[in-house]
Amino acid sequence: MTNIKVNSRLLGLKDVKVHVDDYGGDGRPVVLIHGWPLSGESWSEQIAAFSGAGFRVITYDRRGFGRSDKPKTGYSYDTLADDLAGLLEELDLQDVSLVGFSMGGGEVARYIAKHGQKRLHSVVFAAAVTPMMMNEPGNPEGPLEKSKAAEMTAQLTADQDKFYDGFTTDFFSANADGNLLVTEQQHQDAIRLCRQADKAAALEAMQSFGISDFREDLTKVTVPTLVIHGDADGVVPFEGSGRRTHKAISHSELVVIEGAPHGFNVSHADEFNGAVTGFLARSA
């Protein structure tokens, strides 16, 4: 990745500036939307693979995270989808493939529901929080229990360093069993990205991905779609999220990576990259 030229800048949107890394090229644009509470840097294992496959790769840091502005408000999915729309408009991107990881999958769904698909070519839901995380009477298959959500909020509020260490361990271990499937350096890199997040933004965004309902949004997805998930994801379990997203988008392709945890774009980078670039090529 070090040999790939990148144009990095703060892109002014309606009420916020977001950090964008544009790896250029003449190929179809692929916009990578990162998970919580990381940044666009979390796609480091994908840049060379996607660029090498002929695509123009663009990453950005969600408002409140990474190197972007950190306003006190604006962490609902409606606003985050508007930020994505603003980015596509400012860069005048057409025929775009969106790849939404974890929380970023919600932005893909809400973007389509609010802004349509005229700029889109295809989409990827990678370990995504769709269709709805919170387990409640109207969503009994939701994989996130209210008690767990409250526990996460309390732990992050009390000691963010301790929380991020534990969260990233779960992120990179099969079924969140604590045994890392990445190097300790990769684990520490993720913690570093977490620490760049504004604490208030992290808390608000965590609430958003916990309670937001994307079930109706998913019915509006008609472009070619890939759902990719690890079957050992202990953070956003496949049965309550990836499988349901695939079922909700009847035309979608499904790839399940055996033994892969939530952070499978790092732990199983070769399998992840092969599956996604293969899909992007097939949907050309």
In a domain, 29, yes or no: yes
Catalytic-residue membership of 92: no
Tell me the whole-structure pTM to 2 decimals. Answer: 0.97
In a domain, 2, yes or no: no
User: Tokens 């298959």 sit at which residue?
Assistant: 141
What CATH number is associated with residue 169? 3.40.50.1820
Q: Are 146 and 136 in contact (CB under 8 A)?
A: yes
Overall domain count for the chain: 1
Catalytic residue among 19, 34, 262, 268: 262
Catalytic-residue membership of 19: no
Q: Are 96 and 85 in contact (CB under 8 A)?
A: no
In a domain, 225, yes or no: yes
Domain assignment of residue 105, given as a range:
7-282
In a domain, 139, yes or no: yes
Q: How far is CA 110 from the centre of its chain?
A: 13
Catalytic-residue membership of 122: no
**Could you give phi then psi for residue 213, rounded to 5 degrees?**
-110, 115
Which residues does residue 125 pair with via DSSP β-bridges, in sequence order?
A: 100, 227
In a domain, 126, yes or no: yes
Catalytic residue among 39, 68, 97, 102: 102
Q: Where are the alpha helices (DSSP H) in the chain?
A: 47-52, 77-90, 103-115, 146-158, 160-171, 184-195, 199-211, 215-218, 242-248, 264-267, 269-282
In a domain, 1, yes or no: no
Catalytic residue among 22, 189, 231, 233: 233
In a domain, 106, yes or no: yes
Kindly calculate the radius of gyration of the chain based on its CA atoms and give it in whole angstroms: 17
**Could you give phi then psi for residue 8, rounded to 5 degrees?**
-105, 135
In a domain, 127, yes or no: yes
Q: Write out the chain's pLDDT in tens, 284 residues.
A: 447 889 999 999 999 999 999 998 889 999 999 999 999 999 999 999 999 999 999 999 999 999 999 999 999 999 999 999 999 999 999 999 999 999 999 999 999 999 999 999 999 999 999 999 999 999 999 999 999 999 999 999 999 999 999 999 999 999 999 999 999 999 999 999 999 999 999 999 999 999 999 999 999 999 999 999 999 999 999 999 999 999 999 999 999 999 999 999 999 999 999 999 999 998 76
